[in-house]
């Protein structure tokens, strides 16, 4: 299996799907000639031309709205939001339109659309190049939301998203783009949307997370194993729909649950995961459910101490895992 | 081509419309008007909850529809466009099913408010209540048609108030950049609920097209033949690859904004009456009579026929079943099992 960077896996998924299906096309700011500000779409315009890899006006609501129109016509657009921080002008199109098209038309119309948006901080991006906006879109039925942590998952989930008959938000972690690499299966495969994935089996504590913090949890679990603490780690993979069965099974495995995400704590995905566990199996727990999340501030600052304070890392995750194990 | 003199009785023929075409257009206007009046009565009688009216706007709606390719184009009407959707194939029965929010309503299965049209077979694209979100959709449909090399135009309408929304401007700019086959028609009915046009617009809607690099035209929306001519030319331009056209059709909303609105709180009866005298449906009827294509007798027959059809549609929709309560959970996603839990 070839080893690819996370960003290369995203690019490969788009390239292969565009080769496979002439209705797939990419649109967004700077995605064409420049190949994206992160180079995610590099080389695609050279291969597929200006129409299928389209540089759009700087106009996020139009990017989403035009993509929605094209999707209703039968195309399979992949709309790129340059940073997830900039997708809020498109929020009305995403929440009021894309999410509701099938439902409001009683299954007459549909909107097979992918919106890709980079999330996360740790790149000195300051308030508006660092955000994790999952909680803004989470809880809007009609949308699917995925957030991969490895190149293999990124490729498989993006391929699944492109082939999905409904709108999917694909939140890719920009810190992972080149820092995370790994083997990617050759040939055609998808990672199913709506299913979580056990990354590590363990008996003492259960960590439930998604995206970048999973890497911290896996590193911490290695170190804690030396201390005799055995961690079970679940990757949600899909934030919507949440894999309730997978969550409950992972929580039952140890009876102690730590939920981790970089998005701020209040109203985040972790609140819902926690509520699912509490509703279904409160009396099977051996400790209160814990959450380790970004602090409830509007967004992270650009100054290095402030950014470091906001961001999760292996040490913060390890400490939270150990504390729960010792409860 | 020589322009026919003002008041000419062959204007429709000069535009390529036969007497029969012109009569059919009038019949649709009349149907839309009578439908609207009937639904207002149904609301007042407590049979239905809500209606948002298009009275005063039918002439332009029907004329625009007639200028399009009703077998190929895509339509994104806004919530007053009863005349338009009737002209592109919706029936009174279908509209009534929507009014009564019944299971068989083709636009939404009784989910959406009336006037939120959608009908895939007729290429009427599903719409919502946040205004003007449909403009970027129309642009995306035109883009997709162009990408696939299919000769189609997308036609989208909206009010002058909603032409202030960002989506109008973002959609126009995108369409202008890519010279897309889209026709944008603003139904400037002088009011956005209670706010008059002089508090909505610092200039003309039509002039905004200049900023996006395409043609913008103002037309008398009470003159269906004028609207037909303008939209016909816009359609020709769109198919010829000459890009979008913005049409600002000037009209007057004769009815209140909706059945929840008391319009005399913000405008006078005199003003409404003055505009009622300019009603495009009535003046078109007179034109057809003067041109020898129509008569008072035929008009009475038409009125009676529409009334019968309305009676039948109302009865059918009134007696039709509501959706099953549990069907509320369906169609969140393609795989119904995933939604609504």
pLDDT, tens digit, 9 for 90 and up, residues B67-100: 999 999 999 999 999 999 999 999 999 999 999 9
Q: Are residues A236 and A267 in the same domain?
A: yes
Has A129 been annotated as catalytic? Answer: yes
Q: How confident is the model at residue B336 (pLDDT cuts 50, 70, 90)?
A: low
Nearest by CB: B170 against A25, A61, A100: A61
Q: Are residues A12 and A37 in the same domain?
A: yes
| 3-state SS, one letter per residue, for A39-72 | CCCCCHHHHHHHHHEEECCCCHHHHHHHHHHHHH
Helical segments of chain A, H only: 6-20, 44-52, 60-73, 91-92, 101-104, 134-137, 151-163, 176-179, 213-226, 244-254, 269-281, 304-310, 314-325
Nearest by CB: A57 against B120, B125, B174: B174
Q: Are residues A178 and A230 in the same domain?
A: no
Q: Are residues A159 and A204 in the same domain?
A: no
pLDDT, tens digit, 9 for 90 and up, residues B33-72: 999 999 999 999 999 999 999 999 999 999 999 999 999 9
- CA B139/CA B116 separation, integer angstroms: 19
Q: Do A109 and B143 touch (CB under 8 A)?
A: no
- In the block, which residue shows the tokens 């650009």? A302
How far apart, in Å, do the first and last CA atoms of chain A sit? 41
A105 lies within 8 A of chain B by CB: yes
CB-based contacts of A324: which residues, under 8 Å, 6+ apart?
A205, A256, A257, A258, A287, A290
Counting the structural domains of chain A, the total is: 2
Report how many Cβ contacts below 8 Å link chain A to chain B: 143
- The CATH number assigned to the domain holding A37 equals 3.40.50.970
Give the pLDDT score at A291: 98
- In the block, which residue shows the tokens 């400037």? B188
B194 lies within 8 A of chain A by CB: no
CB-based contacts of B325: which residues, under 8 Å, 6+ apart?
none
Q: Which of residues 233-272 of A touch B (CB under 8 A)?
A: 241
Q: Are residues A229 and A95 in the same domain?
A: no
pLDDT, tens digit, 9 for 90 and up, residues B211-254: 999 999 999 999 999 999 999 999 999 999 999 999 999 999 99
Instruction: Assess whether pLDDT exceeds 60 at residue A208.
Output: yes
pLDDT, tens digit, 9 for 90 and up, residues A166-206: 999 999 999 999 999 999 999 999 999 999 999 999 999 99
Using an 8 Å Cβ cutoff, are A157 and A148 in contact? yes
pLDDT, tens digit, 9 for 90 and up, residues A80-114: 999 999 999 999 999 999 999 999 999 999 999 99
B334 lies within 8 A of chain A by CB: yes
Closest among B217, B152, B218 to B180, alpha carbons compared: B152
Q: Do B332 and A103 touch (CB under 8 A)?
A: yes
ipTM metric: 0.96
Nearest by CB: A142 against B120, B125, B332: B332
> Nearest-CA distance from B235 to chain A in Å?
19
Q: Are residues A207 and A114 in the same domain?
A: no
Q: Are residues A53 and A164 in the same domain?
A: yes
Annotate A240-266 with b (16+ C-beta within 10 A) or e (fewer). bbbbbebbbebbbbbebbbbbbbbbbe
> Nearest-CA distance from B67 to chain A in Å?
22
| 3-state SS, one letter per residue, for chain B | CCCCCCCCCCHHHHCCCCHHHHHHHHHHHHHHHHHHHHHHHHHHCCCCCCCECCCCCHHHHHHHHHCCCCCCCEEECCCCCHHHHHHCCCCHHHHHHHHCCCCCCCCCCCCCCCCCCCEHHHCECCCCCCCCCHHHHHHHHHHHHHHCCCCCCEEEEEECCHHHCHHHHHHHHHHHHCCCCEEEEEEECCEECCEEHHHCCCCCCCCHHHHHCCEEEEEECCCHHHHHHHHHHHHHHHHCCCCCEEEEEECCCCCCCECCCCHHHCCCHHHHHHHHCCCHHHHHHHHHHHCCCCCHHHHHHHHHHHHHHHHHHHHHHHHCCCCCHHHHHCCCCCCHHHCCC
Q: Are residues A215 and A80 in the same domain?
A: no
What is the rounded average pLDDT of the residues B265-273?
96
Q: Choose the catalytic residue: B266, B267, B276, B316.
A: B266
Q: Which of residues 57-96 of B touch A (CB under 8 A)?
A: 74
Q: Which residues of B touch A165 (CB under 8 A)?
A: 333-334
Give the pLDDT score at A145: 98
- A100 domain residue, yes or no: yes
Instruction: Assess whether pLDDT exceeds 50 at residue B341.
Output: no
Give the pLDDT score at B8: 85
- A268 domain residue, yes or no: yes
Q: Which of residues 146-165 of A touch B (CB under 8 A)?
A: 165
**Upper half-sphere CA count for residue A304 (Cβ side, 13 Å):** 0
- CA B68/CA B236 separation, integer angstroms: 9
Q: Are residues A91 and A156 in the same domain?
A: yes
- The CATH number assigned to the domain holding A268 equals 3.40.50.920
Instruction: Assess whether pLDDT exceeds 50 at residue A39.
Output: yes
Q: How confident is the model at residue B291 (pLDDT cuts 50, 70, 90)?
A: very high
What is the rounded average pLDDT of the residues A236-247?
98
Give the pLDDT score at B9: 87
Nearest by CB: A104 against B126, B142, B333: B126
Q: Are residues A204 and A176 in the same domain?
A: no
Domain that holds residue A144: 3-183
A72 lies within 8 A of chain B by CB: yes
- A190 domain residue, yes or no: no
- Interface probe with A: pick from B144, B173, B335, most Cβ of A within 10 Å: B144
Q: Do A142 and B120 touch (CB under 8 A)?
A: no
Q: Are residues A153 and A24 in the same domain?
A: yes
pLDDT, tens digit, 9 for 90 and up, residues A5-17: 999 999 999 999 9
- Interface probe with B: pick from A23, A74, A106, most Cβ of B within 10 Å: A106
Q: Are residues A170 and A258 in the same domain?
A: no
Give the pLDDT score at B2: 47
- A189 domain residue, yes or no: no
What is the rounded average pLDDT of the residues A67-83?
98
pLDDT, tens digit, 9 for 90 and up, residues A248-284: 999 999 999 999 999 999 999 999 999 999 999 999 9
Instruction: Assess whether pLDDT exceeds 60 at residue B3.
Output: no
Chain A's closest residue to B336, CA to CA, is A107
> Nearest-CA distance from B148 to chain A in Å?
9
């Amino acid at each position: 299996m070839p080893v690819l960077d996370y960003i290369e896996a995203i690019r490969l998924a788009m390239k292969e799907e565009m080769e496979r299906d002439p209705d797939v096309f990419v649109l967004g700011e700077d995605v064409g000639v420049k190949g994206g500000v992160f180079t995610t779409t590099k080389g695609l315009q050279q291969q597929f031309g200006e129409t299928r890899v389209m540089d759009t006006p700087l106009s996020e609501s139009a990017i989403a709205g035009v993509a929605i129109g094209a999707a209703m016509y039968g195309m399979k657009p992949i709309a790129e939001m340059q940073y997830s921080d900039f997708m809020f002008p498109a929020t009305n199109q995403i929440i009021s339109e894309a999410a509701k098209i099938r439902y409001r038309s009683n299954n007459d119309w549909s909107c097979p659309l992918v919106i890709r948006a980079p999330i996360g901080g740790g790149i000195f991006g300051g308030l508006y190049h660092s955000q994790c906006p999952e909680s803004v879109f989470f809880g809007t039925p009609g949308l699917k939301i995925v957030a991969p942590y490895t190149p293999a998952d990124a490729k498989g989930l993006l391929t699944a998203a492109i082939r999905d008959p409904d709108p999917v938000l694909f939140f890719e972690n920009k810190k992972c783009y080149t820092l995370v690499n790994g083997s990617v299966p050759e040939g055609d495969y998808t990672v199913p949307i709506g299913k979580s994935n056990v990354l590590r089996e363990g008996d003492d504590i259960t960590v439930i997370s998604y995206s970048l913090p999973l890497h911290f949890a896996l590193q911490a679990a290695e170190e804690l194993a030396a201390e005799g603490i055995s961690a079970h780690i679940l990757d949600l993979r899909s934030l919507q729909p949440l894999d309730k069965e997978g969550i409950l099974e992972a929580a039952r495995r140890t009876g102690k649950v730590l939920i981790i995400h970089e998005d701020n704590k209040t109203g985040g995905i972790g609140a819902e995961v926690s509520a699912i566990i509490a509703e279904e199996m409160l009396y099977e727990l051996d400790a209160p459910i814990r959450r380790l999340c970004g602090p409830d501030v509007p967004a992270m600052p650009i100054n290095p101490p402030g950014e470091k304070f906001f961001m999760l890392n292996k040490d913060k995750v390890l400490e939270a895992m150990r504390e729960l194990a010792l409860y | 081509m020589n322009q026919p003199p003002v008041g000419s009785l062959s204007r429709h023929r000069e535009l390529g419309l036969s007497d029969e075409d012109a009569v059919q257009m009038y019949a649709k206007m009349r149907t839309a008007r009578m439908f609207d009046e009937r639904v207002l009565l149904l609301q007042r009688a407590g049979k239905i909850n809500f209606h948002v009216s298009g009275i005063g706007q039918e002439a332009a709606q029907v004329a625009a529809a007639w200028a399009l390719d009703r077998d190929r184009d895509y339509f994104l009407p806004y919530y007053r466009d009863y005349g338009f959707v009737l002209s592109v194939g919706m029936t009174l029965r279908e509209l009534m099913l929507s009014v009564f929010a019944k299971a068989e309503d083709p636009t939404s299965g009784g989910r959406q408010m009336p006037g939120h049209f959608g009908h895939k077979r007729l290429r009427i694209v599903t719409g919502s209540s946040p205004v003007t979100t449909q403009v970027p959709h129309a642009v995306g449909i035109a883009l997709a048609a162009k990408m696939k090399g299919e000769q189609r135009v997308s036609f989208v309408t909206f009010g002058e108030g909603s032409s202030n929304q960002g989506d109008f401007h973002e959609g126009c700019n995108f369409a202008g950049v890519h010279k897309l086959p889209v026709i944008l028609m603003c139904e400037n009915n002088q009011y956005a609920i209670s706010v008059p046009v002089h508090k909505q617009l610092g200039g003309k809607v039509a002039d905004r097209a200049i900023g996006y690099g395409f043609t913008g035209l103002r037309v008398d929306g009470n003159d269906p033949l004028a609207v037909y001519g303008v939209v016909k030319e816009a359609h020709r331009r769109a198919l010829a690859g000459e890009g979008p056209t913005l049409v600002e059709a000037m009209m007057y909303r004769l009815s209140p904004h909706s059945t929840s609105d008391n319009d005399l709180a913000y405008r006078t009866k005199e003003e409404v009456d003055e505009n009622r005298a300019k009603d495009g449906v009535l003046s078109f009827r007179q034109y057809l009579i003067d041109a020898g294509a129509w008569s008072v007798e035929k008009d009475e027959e038409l009125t009676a026929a529409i009334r019968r059809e309305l009676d039948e549609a109302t009865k059918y929709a009134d007696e039709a079943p509501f959706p099953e309560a549990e069907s509320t959970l369906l169609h969140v996603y393609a795989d119904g099992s995933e939604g609504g839990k």
